[in-house]
Structure 1
Amino acid sequence: MEQQIKYDIMEVCLLAGKILLESGAETYRVEDTMMRIAASYGISQSHSFVTPTGIIFSIETSEPTKTKLIRISDRTTDLKKVTMVNRISRKISGGDVSLDEAYELLKDVEKSNLSFSFFTQILAASISSGCFLIMFQGVWHDFLAAMLAGGIGFFALVYFHKLVPIKFFAEFLASIIIGLISYFFVDTGAGYELDKIIIGSVMPLVPGLLITNAVRDLMAGHLLSGLSKGAEAFLTAFAIGSGIAVVLTFL
């Protein structure tokens, strides 16, 4: 019976870590949350090793050390889920939630779809593209061009990622489309400054949170995770830059 309880504690810790990592949380936050949950349920000695693609978690007891590995294949940005898991973790630390209740709460968070609708995401990408254009000292005449290019580019990113589940190619093709649309607006006289329209339109594709997490992980001493996230951010930036370069080279 005691053995089963310890395995259940590991399952709760791993589920919390899995949700956090898949939702875009920093590596040190994932490790700290898992160890705090284990300590709250009486496991004084626990160890976690987290990378962007996997979690290894072990607990030390009087019996042989128990270790479990889970694979993380899909990562996105969902700060709402990160907040919800942190709230559950604080309730666990306060002794307000039993082990079974914690598992059910985390399962509910994992199954929930908290993201905005696809239309809302495209609308947000469009508006933010126009606002970034103004922020980079563009002219108001190009606001609509940046909105359309940014919205269509974000739609292309999601569409191509569903067709080919490789982020690099989806970002590369989306940036090509953004470059073509921006060039079309300037060529027809509907836009004035090609560079400002392109800069504003590609901003929704820029991996801002990924770069931030890479720096924070490096500063926290998680060198492997920091470097791997930094490499992923570099590939995204390279894909965006390459797509725009292709358009500017041939047009």
Structure 2
Amino acid sequence: MNRQEAEQYLYYAMNIGELLLENGAEVGRVEDTVRRICLAGGAERADVFSITSNMSASIYGKEFGSCTQTRRVVNTVNDFHKLEELNCLSRKICEDGMTFGEIEREIERIQKEQGYSFWWLVLDYALISGSFCVFFGGNARDMVISALIGVLLKFLMTFMQKTAANHLFNALICSVAGGFLANLAVFASVADHADRISIGNIMLLIPGIAFTNSLRDMFSGDTITGLIRFMESILLAVIIAFGFNIAGFYFR
């Protein structure tokens, strides 16, 4: 493998690593996947370092020397189906070997795969909001209002994501809107407990997966990434609580 081929092979390995990060994989999995792909491609040594928003990899081989590439990862979501597809692709590359064209086609196929439809997610948001409202003591009227607010929050989140605004700002706007609508419903006498309605809506925003991943990263030895995710989760939770409280103060 000459230097040009090594650079191209590393490029595709980094593409897979970037997609893993974007879809919610832990950094240990990302580093191990990219390293294994590079070693399977003929590199004698592969050093990969990743945090939540950045990834860099260096490979070495006698035939091509040393190659290094970095990636900046901005937006992350949790898509476990794509993670499974990417894991299968990485295993196939390592076990069977694939040409550059085959790897590129598989990456494009995975990127184009659609998850749940928008309206299915709207239904999920309604069910989650209403269910948690009842779980924490809300009555039937509270449940219905919480479910309706959950639907409105889904539309608002989708709109905010299109504006490419900071995710902390998005969370603040959504939490203020959710708290305001919950208190407005009680003020208009169509619901009874604003706090229980708000709890149902908070569950749509709370960073539970990110917080769990931060602890897992720290226990796995990825202390830097774990601390970054931990602080991001705490900051996001504080902003969400602040947003709901701002809305509550207006009606006091």
After TM superposition, the score normalised by the length of structure 2 is 0.91
Partner of 2:117: 117
CA contact (8 A) 1:40 1:95 kept: no
| Amino acid across the alignment from 1:124 | D
Between stretches 15-24 and 154-163, larger displacement belongs to 154-163
Quick check: 1:86 aligned with 2:87?
Answer: yes
- Describe the superposition over 1:114-162 as per-residue Cα deviations: whole angstroms up to 9, x where unpaired: 2333332222111111111122233233210110112212322232343
Partner of 1:39: 39
Q: Which runs of 5+ in 2 are unaligned?
A: none
Distance in 1 (CA, whole Å) between partners of 2:184 and 2:114 is: 36
CA contact (8 A) 1:52 1:225 kept: yes
Partner of 1:183: 183
1:172-251 → structure 2 map (5 Å cutoff): 172-251=172-251
Distance in 2 (CA, whole Å) between partners of 1:97 and 1:213 is: 32
1:4-43 → structure 2 map (5 Å cutoff): 4-43=4-43
Partner of 2:69: 68
> Matched residue of 1:60: which SS?
strand
| Amino acid across the alignment from 1:94 | E
Quick check: 1:105 aligned with 2:90?
Answer: no
Distance in 2 (CA, whole Å) between partners of 1:103 and 1:113 is: 14
> Matched residue of 2:68: which SS?
strand
> Matched residue of 1:70: which SS?
strand
Aligned length: 250
Partner of 1:170: 170
- Describe the superposition over 1:54-73 as per-residue Cα deviations: whole angstroms up to 9, x where unpaired: 11001122254211111112
Between stretches 114-123 and 167-176, larger displacement belongs to 114-123
Partner of 2:146: 146
Distance in 1 (CA, whole Å) between partners of 2:157 and 2:151 is: 10
> Matched residue of 1:65: which SS?
strand
CA contact (8 A) 2:11 2:69 kept: no
Give the superposition deviation at 1:198. Answer: 0.5
Give the superposition deviation at 1:113. Answer: 4.3
Give the superposition deviation at 1:90. Answer: 1.7
Distance in 1 (CA, whole Å) between partners of 2:106 and 2:97 is: 12
| Amino acid across the alignment from 1:47 | D
**Inter-CA distance 163–13: structure 2 relative to 1 (3 Å threshold):** closer
> Matched residue of 1:49: which SS?
strand
> Matched residue of 2:61: which SS?
coil
CA contact (8 A) 1:182 1:194 kept: yes
CA contact (8 A) 1:150 1:202 kept: no
Distance in 2 (CA, whole Å) between partners of 1:234 and 1:146 is: 24
Distance in 2 (CA, whole Å) between partners of 1:160 and 1:103 is: 31
Partner of 2:55: 55
Q: Which runs of 5+ in 1 are unaligned?
A: none
CA contact (8 A) 2:42 2:61 kept: no
Distance in 2 (CA, whole Å) between partners of 1:105 and 1:21 is: 17
**Inter-CA distance 182–226: structure 2 relative to 1 (3 Å threshold):** same
Write out the 4+ residue segments of structure 1 that deviate beyond 6 Å after TM superposition: none
CA contact (8 A) 1:122 1:154 kept: yes
Identity of aligned residues (%): 27
> Matched residue of 2:96: which SS?
coil
How large is the RMSD of aligned CA atoms in angstroms? 1.9
CA contact (8 A) 1:53 1:73 kept: yes
Distance in 1 (CA, whole Å) between partners of 2:232 and 2:160 is: 18
Distance in 1 (CA, whole Å) between partners of 2:215 and 2:58 is: 27
